[in-house]
Structure 1
Protein backbone atom coordinates (compact mmCIF):
# COMPACT_ATOMS: atom_id res chain seq x y z
CA UNK A 1 0.00 0.00 0.00
CA UNK A 2 1.33 3.44 -0.95
CA UNK A 3 1.34 6.26 1.59
CA UNK A 4 -1.24 8.96 0.89
CA UNK A 5 0.95 11.61 2.55
CA UNK A 6 4.56 11.97 1.44
CA UNK A 7 5.77 15.22 3.03
CA UNK A 8 9.08 16.48 1.64
CA UNK A 9 9.13 19.93 3.27
CA UNK A 10 9.65 20.74 6.04
CA UNK A 11 12.07 18.02 7.10
CA UNK A 12 12.36 17.06 10.78
CA UNK A 13 14.12 19.77 12.79
CA UNK A 14 14.25 22.29 9.95
CA UNK A 15 14.67 25.83 11.22
CA UNK A 16 11.55 27.66 10.01
CA UNK A 17 10.32 31.25 10.02
CA UNK A 18 6.90 32.82 10.44
CA UNK A 19 5.82 31.43 7.07
CA UNK A 20 6.20 27.66 7.08
CA UNK A 21 6.35 26.16 3.60
CA UNK A 22 4.88 22.69 3.17
CA UNK A 23 5.30 20.50 0.09
CA UNK A 24 5.00 16.91 -0.90
CA UNK A 25 2.71 14.40 -2.53
CA UNK A 26 -0.74 13.65 -1.19
CA UNK A 27 -4.17 12.34 -1.96
CA UNK A 28 -6.67 14.26 0.13
CA UNK A 29 -10.36 13.60 0.67
CA UNK A 30 -12.26 16.02 -1.58
CA UNK A 31 -8.95 17.67 -2.40
CA UNK A 32 -8.01 19.12 1.00
CA UNK A 33 -5.45 18.56 3.72
CA UNK A 34 -5.56 20.09 7.19
CA UNK A 35 -2.41 21.77 8.49
CA UNK A 36 -1.96 22.37 12.20
CA UNK A 37 1.07 23.97 13.86
CA UNK A 38 1.23 23.39 17.60
CA UNK A 39 3.60 23.06 20.54
CA UNK A 40 1.22 21.61 23.08
CA UNK A 41 -0.10 24.93 24.37
CA UNK A 42 -1.37 26.86 21.36
CA UNK A 43 -2.01 26.10 17.70
CA UNK A 44 -2.49 27.70 14.30
CA UNK A 45 -4.47 25.94 11.60
CA UNK A 46 -4.82 26.11 7.81
CA UNK A 47 -5.76 24.06 4.76
CA UNK A 48 -3.95 22.88 1.61
CA UNK A 49 -5.61 21.95 -1.66
CA UNK A 50 -4.63 18.80 -3.55
CA UNK A 51 -6.34 16.80 -6.24
CA UNK A 52 -8.70 14.15 -5.02
CA UNK A 53 -7.85 11.57 -7.68
CA UNK A 54 -4.56 9.83 -7.00
CA UNK A 55 -1.35 11.05 -5.45
CA UNK A 56 -0.45 14.59 -6.53
CA UNK A 57 2.21 17.14 -5.74
CA UNK A 58 1.15 20.03 -3.58
CA UNK A 59 2.62 23.16 -2.05
CA UNK A 60 1.14 25.17 0.77
CA UNK A 61 2.18 27.57 3.49
CA UNK A 62 0.92 28.54 6.87
CA UNK A 63 1.67 31.92 8.42
CA UNK A 64 2.29 32.37 12.14
CA UNK A 65 1.42 36.06 12.62
CA UNK A 66 3.03 36.50 16.02
CA UNK A 67 6.32 35.05 17.30
CA UNK A 68 4.77 34.86 20.76
CA UNK A 69 2.02 32.55 19.47
CA UNK A 70 4.09 29.71 20.90
CA UNK A 71 5.88 29.30 24.21
CA UNK A 72 8.45 26.77 23.00
CA UNK A 73 11.09 26.78 20.27
CA UNK A 74 10.24 23.25 19.07
CA UNK A 75 6.87 23.09 17.37
CA UNK A 76 5.02 20.40 15.43
CA UNK A 77 3.57 20.66 11.93
CA UNK A 78 0.77 18.15 11.41
CA UNK A 79 -0.55 17.49 7.93
CA UNK A 80 -3.68 15.33 7.80
CA UNK A 81 -6.03 14.01 5.17
CA UNK A 82 -9.12 16.12 5.82
CA UNK A 83 -11.53 13.21 6.00
CA UNK A 84 -13.46 14.62 8.93
CA UNK A 85 -12.28 11.51 10.71
CA UNK A 86 -9.76 11.63 13.58
CA UNK A 87 -8.27 8.34 12.39
CA UNK A 88 -7.40 9.57 8.88
CA UNK A 89 -3.75 9.46 7.79
CA UNK A 90 -1.54 12.21 9.19
CA UNK A 91 2.14 13.13 9.41
CA UNK A 92 3.68 15.03 12.34
CA UNK A 93 6.99 16.83 11.77
CA UNK A 94 8.95 18.51 14.57
CA UNK A 95 10.53 21.80 13.48
CA UNK A 96 12.40 24.61 15.22
CA UNK A 97 10.63 27.99 15.24
CA UNK A 98 13.21 30.70 14.41
CA UNK A 99 11.13 33.71 15.58
CA UNK A 100 11.00 32.14 19.07
CA UNK A 101 14.76 31.52 18.99
CA UNK A 102 15.89 35.00 17.90
CA UNK A 103 13.91 38.24 17.83
CA UNK A 104 13.53 39.50 14.25
CA UNK A 105 14.47 36.07 12.84
CA UNK A 106 14.99 36.30 9.07
CA UNK A 107 16.81 33.06 8.28
CA UNK A 108 20.03 31.28 9.08
CA UNK A 109 23.50 30.78 7.69
CA UNK A 110 25.80 27.78 8.04
CA UNK A 111 28.96 28.06 10.11
CA UNK A 112 31.72 25.43 10.07
CA UNK A 113 33.34 25.03 13.49
CA UNK A 114 37.11 25.54 13.52
CA UNK A 115 39.67 24.26 16.02
CA UNK A 116 39.52 26.40 19.18
CA UNK A 117 35.95 27.65 18.56
CA UNK A 118 33.46 27.85 21.41
CA UNK A 119 29.77 28.71 21.18
CA UNK A 120 30.47 31.84 23.23
CA UNK A 121 33.20 32.89 20.78
CA UNK A 122 31.02 32.16 17.76
CA UNK A 123 28.19 34.19 19.28
CA UNK A 124 30.59 37.07 19.97
CA UNK A 125 31.77 37.06 16.35
CA UNK A 126 28.26 36.70 14.89
CA UNK A 127 26.17 38.85 17.25
CA UNK A 128 28.67 41.11 19.01
CA UNK A 129 27.85 39.55 22.39
CA UNK A 130 28.47 36.26 24.16
CA UNK A 131 24.83 35.06 24.17
CA UNK A 132 25.15 31.69 22.46
CA UNK A 133 21.60 30.53 23.35
CA UNK A 134 20.13 31.29 19.89
CA UNK A 135 22.83 29.13 18.31
CA UNK A 136 22.27 26.33 20.82
CA UNK A 137 18.49 26.49 20.30
CA UNK A 138 18.82 26.47 16.49
CA UNK A 139 20.97 23.34 16.71
CA UNK A 140 19.23 21.54 19.58
CA UNK A 141 18.75 18.41 17.47
CA UNK A 142 22.53 18.03 16.96
CA UNK A 143 24.02 19.64 20.09
CA UNK A 144 23.53 17.40 23.10
CA UNK A 145 25.85 19.64 25.12
CA UNK A 146 26.69 23.25 24.11
CA UNK A 147 30.17 22.78 25.60
CA UNK A 148 30.92 19.99 23.11
CA UNK A 149 31.41 21.23 19.57
CA UNK A 150 34.06 19.92 17.22
CA UNK A 151 36.02 21.12 14.17
CA UNK A 152 34.18 20.47 10.93
CA UNK A 153 30.75 20.48 12.58
CA UNK A 154 28.27 22.66 10.70
CA UNK A 155 26.04 24.84 12.85
CA UNK A 156 23.02 26.92 11.88
CA UNK A 157 23.49 30.55 12.91
CA UNK A 158 20.11 32.31 13.19
CA UNK A 159 20.07 35.78 11.63
CA UNK A 160 17.77 38.72 12.19
CA UNK A 161 16.98 41.85 10.27
CA UNK A 162 16.93 44.11 13.32
Structure 2
Protein backbone atom coordinates (compact mmCIF):
# COMPACT_ATOMS: atom_id res chain seq x y z
CA UNK A 1 0.00 0.00 0.00
CA UNK A 2 1.53 3.31 -1.08
CA UNK A 3 -1.06 5.80 0.14
CA UNK A 4 -0.18 8.00 3.08
CA UNK A 5 -1.71 11.06 4.75
CA UNK A 6 1.00 13.45 5.99
CA UNK A 7 -1.34 16.34 6.74
CA UNK A 8 -3.31 16.60 8.92
CA UNK A 9 -1.65 14.54 11.63
CA UNK A 10 -3.48 12.57 14.29
CA UNK A 11 -5.59 14.89 16.50
CA UNK A 12 -4.44 18.06 14.72
CA UNK A 13 -6.68 21.05 15.24
CA UNK A 14 -8.06 21.87 11.78
CA UNK A 15 -10.19 24.64 10.32
CA UNK A 16 -11.93 25.46 7.07
CA UNK A 17 -10.92 24.27 4.55
CA UNK A 18 -9.38 21.04 5.82
CA UNK A 19 -6.04 20.65 4.05
CA UNK A 20 -5.17 17.07 3.13
CA UNK A 21 -1.72 16.19 1.79
CA UNK A 22 0.40 13.12 1.34
CA UNK A 23 1.55 10.65 -1.27
CA UNK A 24 -0.37 8.00 -3.09
CA UNK A 25 -1.47 6.20 -6.18
CA UNK A 26 -4.82 4.84 -7.22
CA UNK A 27 -6.62 3.08 -10.04
CA UNK A 28 -6.10 5.31 -13.07
CA UNK A 29 -4.29 7.74 -10.69
CA UNK A 30 -7.55 8.61 -8.89
CA UNK A 31 -7.86 8.80 -5.11
CA UNK A 32 -10.87 9.88 -3.06
CA UNK A 33 -11.19 11.77 0.21
CA UNK A 34 -13.84 12.03 2.86
CA UNK A 35 -14.11 14.32 5.90
CA UNK A 36 -16.84 13.12 8.26
CA UNK A 37 -18.13 13.24 11.82
CA UNK A 38 -20.32 10.17 11.36
CA UNK A 39 -23.38 12.31 10.55
CA UNK A 40 -22.28 14.75 7.85
CA UNK A 41 -19.53 14.33 5.29
CA UNK A 42 -17.70 16.08 2.50
CA UNK A 43 -16.25 13.93 -0.28
CA UNK A 44 -14.26 14.43 -3.44
CA UNK A 45 -11.57 12.95 -5.62
CA UNK A 46 -8.20 13.97 -7.03
CA UNK A 47 -5.32 12.57 -9.04
CA UNK A 48 -2.04 11.33 -7.60
CA UNK A 49 0.70 9.41 -9.35
CA UNK A 50 0.73 8.38 -12.96
CA UNK A 51 -1.89 5.67 -12.87
CA UNK A 52 0.46 2.81 -13.65
CA UNK A 53 1.72 2.24 -10.14
CA UNK A 54 3.64 5.51 -9.83
CA UNK A 55 3.33 7.24 -6.49
CA UNK A 56 2.86 11.01 -6.49
CA UNK A 57 2.37 13.79 -4.00
CA UNK A 58 -1.05 15.28 -3.46
CA UNK A 59 -2.54 18.27 -1.71
CA UNK A 60 -6.25 18.97 -1.69
CA UNK A 61 -8.57 21.36 0.16
CA UNK A 62 -11.78 19.87 1.49
CA UNK A 63 -14.26 22.74 1.69
CA UNK A 64 -16.21 21.86 4.83
CA UNK A 65 -17.48 25.37 5.58
CA UNK A 66 -21.11 24.64 4.71
CA UNK A 67 -21.21 21.36 6.60
CA UNK A 68 -23.06 21.17 9.91
CA UNK A 69 -20.80 18.82 11.82
CA UNK A 70 -22.32 17.75 15.13
CA UNK A 71 -19.06 16.85 16.92
CA UNK A 72 -15.57 18.30 17.40
CA UNK A 73 -13.98 15.08 16.22
CA UNK A 74 -13.73 14.34 12.52
CA UNK A 75 -12.22 11.57 10.45
CA UNK A 76 -10.14 12.49 7.40
CA UNK A 77 -9.89 9.59 4.98
CA UNK A 78 -8.10 8.96 1.70
CA UNK A 79 -8.91 5.81 -0.25
CA UNK A 80 -9.05 4.10 -3.61
CA UNK A 81 -12.05 2.54 -5.26
CA UNK A 82 -11.59 -1.02 -6.41
CA UNK A 83 -11.66 -1.40 -10.21
CA UNK A 84 -13.34 -4.78 -9.65
CA UNK A 85 -16.40 -3.77 -7.63
CA UNK A 86 -16.12 -0.09 -6.63
CA UNK A 87 -15.56 -0.91 -2.95
CA UNK A 88 -13.25 1.28 -0.89
CA UNK A 89 -9.74 -0.14 -0.57
CA UNK A 90 -6.47 1.03 0.98
CA UNK A 91 -8.35 3.38 3.30
CA UNK A 92 -6.11 5.69 5.32
CA UNK A 93 -7.81 7.39 8.30
CA UNK A 94 -6.65 10.26 10.51
CA UNK A 95 -8.80 11.50 13.43
CA UNK A 96 -8.70 15.30 13.84
CA UNK A 97 -10.33 18.01 15.97
CA UNK A 98 -12.47 20.63 14.22
CA UNK A 99 -11.67 24.13 15.54
CA UNK A 100 -14.87 25.86 14.31
CA UNK A 101 -16.95 23.55 16.55
CA UNK A 102 -14.81 24.57 19.53
CA UNK A 103 -14.67 28.34 19.05
CA UNK A 104 -16.73 30.62 16.80
CA UNK A 105 -14.73 32.18 13.97
CA UNK A 106 -11.85 29.75 14.49
CA UNK A 107 -8.71 30.88 12.66
CA UNK A 108 -5.91 29.05 14.47
CA UNK A 109 -4.50 28.39 17.90
CA UNK A 110 -1.84 29.60 20.28
CA UNK A 111 0.47 27.29 22.14
CA UNK A 112 0.74 27.68 25.89
CA UNK A 113 3.45 25.90 27.87
CA UNK A 114 2.00 25.03 31.26
CA UNK A 115 3.92 26.34 34.27
CA UNK A 116 3.43 25.59 37.94
CA UNK A 117 0.21 27.21 39.17
CA UNK A 118 -1.57 27.20 35.79
CA UNK A 119 -5.16 25.96 35.65
CA UNK A 120 -7.49 25.57 32.70
CA UNK A 121 -9.86 28.15 34.16
CA UNK A 122 -6.94 30.55 34.65
CA UNK A 123 -5.87 30.04 31.04
CA UNK A 124 -9.46 30.62 29.90
CA UNK A 125 -9.49 33.90 31.85
CA UNK A 126 -6.18 34.94 30.25
CA UNK A 127 -7.05 34.04 26.66
CA UNK A 128 -10.84 34.48 26.56
CA UNK A 129 -11.58 36.77 29.51
CA UNK A 130 -13.96 34.17 30.99
CA UNK A 131 -13.01 31.31 33.34
CA UNK A 132 -16.08 29.31 32.31
CA UNK A 133 -14.65 28.81 28.79
CA UNK A 134 -11.94 26.38 29.98
CA UNK A 135 -13.67 23.54 28.13
CA UNK A 136 -12.53 25.07 24.82
CA UNK A 137 -8.94 24.37 25.81
CA UNK A 138 -9.82 20.92 27.12
CA UNK A 139 -11.64 19.99 23.88
CA UNK A 140 -8.69 21.17 21.75
CA UNK A 141 -6.31 18.93 23.72
CA UNK A 142 -8.18 15.64 24.06
CA UNK A 143 -4.95 13.72 23.66
CA UNK A 144 -3.43 15.46 26.71
CA UNK A 145 -6.28 16.34 29.07
CA UNK A 146 -8.56 13.63 30.41
CA UNK A 147 -9.25 15.46 33.70
CA UNK A 148 -9.61 19.27 33.51
CA UNK A 149 -8.25 19.54 37.05
CA UNK A 150 -4.98 17.88 36.07
CA UNK A 151 -2.58 19.72 33.81
CA UNK A 152 1.12 19.52 34.47
CA UNK A 153 4.06 21.85 34.01
CA UNK A 154 5.78 21.30 30.69
CA UNK A 155 2.64 20.37 28.75
CA UNK A 156 2.18 22.43 25.60
CA UNK A 157 -1.53 23.10 25.16
CA UNK A 158 -3.33 24.41 22.10
CA UNK A 159 -5.58 27.37 22.83
CA UNK A 160 -8.04 27.76 19.92
CA UNK A 161 -8.56 31.34 18.80
CA UNK A 162 -11.53 32.82 16.99
CA UNK A 163 -13.39 36.02 16.31
Partner Cα separation in structure 2 for residue 144 and residue 28 of structure 1: 39
Equivalent position to 2:161, from 152, 159, 162: 159
1:57 aligns with 2:57: yes
Equivalence for 1:148 = 150
Superposed CA offset, 1:46-81 (max 9, x none) = 212212131111111101123x61100001011101
Aligned positions, number: 158
Equivalence for 2:89 = 88
Equivalence for 1:18 = 16
Report if the CA contact (8 A) 2:79-2:88 is conserved: no
Per the TM alignment, residue 87 of structure 1 is displaced from its structure 2 partner at its CA by 4.3
Equivalent position to 2:39, from 6, 31, 41: 41
Partner Cα separation in structure 2 for residue 142 and residue 114 of structure 1: 15
Normalising by structure 2, report the TM-score. Answer: 0.92
Partner Cα separation in structure 2 for residue 117 and residue 46 of structure 1: 43
Question: Which stretch has the larger CA shift, 139-148 or 46-55?
Answer: 46-55
Partner Cα separation in structure 2 for residue 157 and residue 87 of structure 1: 36
Equivalence for 1:122 = 123
Partner Cα separation in structure 2 for residue 96 and residue 117 of structure 1: 24
Equivalence for 2:76 = 77
Give me the CA root mean square deviation. 1.3
Superposed CA offset, 1:73-123 (max 9, x none) = 001011101336224111111000000011110001110011101000000
Equivalence for 2:109 = 108
Partner Cα separation in structure 2 for residue 59 and residue 42 of structure 1: 22
Moved over 6 A (4+): none
